[in-house]
Amino acid sequence: MASLLDTLARPAAILQLLALLGVTFVLLKVLQFYWEKKKIFKALEAFPGPPKHWLHGHNHMVHPETLLHDVVSWGEKYPYAFPRWFGPFLPTLIPAGIDCAFAVCASGEGLLVLNGNKWFHHRKMITPAFHYDVLKSYVTLMSNSVKVMLDKWDKKITEKKSVELFQDVGLMALDSIMKCAFSFNSDLLLFHHSFSVYELSHLLSRRIQTFSFKDIFYDWTPSGRRYRDACKVAQTHTDQVIQERKRLLSNEKEREKIQKKKHLDFLDILLCSKDANGAALSDEDLRAEVDTFMFEGHDTTTSGISWIFYCMSLYPEHQQRCREEIQGILGDRDYVEWEDLGKMPYTTMCIKESLRLFPPVPAVSRQLSKPVTFPDGRSLPAGLLMNIFAIHRNRDVWEDPEVFDPLRFSPENSAHRHSHAFVPFSAGSRNCIGQQFAMNEMKVALALTLRHFEIHPDPSRIPIMIPQIVLKSKNGVYVQLKKIL
């Protein structure tokens, strides 16, 4: 026994033992990975799809510029659901039918959200921030941000230049979000912080597209260093605002002033929220929720508004009908009020039709948290990543799906349509909590813009759709504006 202990005490023997334990651990992980993937691969055999390469999967068949059209084309050929392979080990299942999508939304977890009790706890505490009484006060702030953008366009059109929508609409949406989240009232933001938000959005899109998920590798790349620097700027700004607001709230007089403000911003509501046990959100949770609202809210709304304007430029008859509706509501006013939003039925239908054709988030992902069985008897195990897109152009759901027809969303045409046929904000329990905020901002932006300008396409610059985190254009989205006198 003593001899064995002496042997183990030697440095070489210790290293050998550690190496053996390390190899054993790696083998166990490999076996676990193998069995999990085997279950998924076996289940996917029941879902026919386009032929795949043993190494590349379907990556060699698609290009960012044609990916969305490829997905729609595959959906027509495999109308229920089909697998999309990113290499040999990473499949997703793309539902093309409503029954499949409904099962996914009911059973899946969002990838970029919390899980389990913590998600439920946060969702419950955040929900009051999107109550209509709160959203009501934001409409004036949105109007102010849109008017700054329109003033900027007034100067641009004197130079007879086309307007690139994503850049200007993005600044407007970010300005609006900052006013609603922080009561931040600078003119289109401090440049340094604004740049960091744009930098993060761009880098995160690239990171997801290249599957650079592991920090240990990504942090050493030039993009990784830029990502860390931009995160630091954005998080430092958020932390400073949170600490300053907490300091004010700790003073009883200042707290009374804040609570008597004409409107409470997103941060005010989060700081005043308590759960059933009287516990507040931690500083880390506060920063995470504010950053999520800011990044998701500004990026998705930018995409939605930009493509809505583009649709208006393509279809002048619908644009004019919206303008007449808006002029009848606003009269001589150059701002939108809360009560106006419910009086725009045709404008709302046009917005929804644009969101159907150009969904701001073209790939809403869900990861199955439990096994799911579809109505036709096929089933999938937990852990499979699924992607929802092709439904908006499914010919079994939408007649002439490529045609821009706002009347699809009239009450009589919508009455018998499945609730999961139109899911621009996802669906199920993990739908977008800020969808009403986004719809309000789209209505305000479209109403004020159509009151001031005619929107025409730029025939020399046809946008090329590319799916990133949000739907963008490879070459920008350009329109020509003509001031209404």
Buried/exposed code over 156-167 (b: 16+ C-beta within 10 A; e: otherwise): eeeeeebbbbbe
The three-state secondary structure class of 364 is: strand
Cβ proximity of 93 and 387 under 8 Å: yes
Q: Which of 332, 379, 377, 464 is nearest to 63 (CA)?
A: 464
The three-state secondary structure class of 403 is: coil
Task: Work out the burial of residue 93: count CB atoms within 10 Å of its CB; fewer than 13 is exposed, 13-18 middle, 19 or more buried.
Answer: buried
- Cα–Cα distances in angstroms (integers) from residue 448 to residues 136, 441, 442, in the given order: 17, 11, 10
Whole-angstrom distance, CA of residue 30 vs CA of residue 25: 9
Cβ proximity of 386 and 104 under 8 Å: yes
- Cα–Cα distances in angstroms (integers) from residue 429 to residues 108, 315, 388, in the given order: 9, 35, 15
- Cα–Cα distances in angstroms (integers) from residue 315 to residues 339, 420, 454, 455, in the given order: 27, 27, 11, 10
CA dihedral 80, 85, 90, 94 (to 10 degrees): -20
The whole-angstrom distance between residue 463's C-alpha and the CA centroid of its chain comes to: 20
Whole-angstrom distance, CA of residue 79 vs CA of residue 74: 8
Q: Which of 134, 130, 142 is nearest to 444 (CA)?
A: 142
Whole-angstrom distance, CA of residue 350 vs CA of residue 407: 8
Whole-angstrom distance, CA of residue 324 vs CA of residue 310: 19
Q: Which of 76, 88, 69 is nearest to 49 (CA)?
A: 76
Q: What share of the chain is helix, strand, coil (3-state, %, to 5)?
A: 60, 10, 30
Direct distance between the N- and C-terminal alpha carbons of the chain, in angstroms, rounded to an integer = 99
* Apex 166 CA angle, 164 and 167, nearest 5: 75
Q: Please, what's the largest Cα pairwise distance for the chain?
A: 99
Cβ proximity of 367 and 384 under 8 Å: yes
Q: Which token pair is 334? A: 């150059």
105 among annotated binding-site residues? no
Cβ proximity of 245 and 287 under 8 Å: no
- Three-state helix/strand/coil letters over 15-54: HHHHHHHHHHHHHHHHHHHHHHHHHHHHHHCCCCCCCCEC
Q: Residues marked as binding?
A: 432
Q: Residues marked as binding for heme?
A: 432
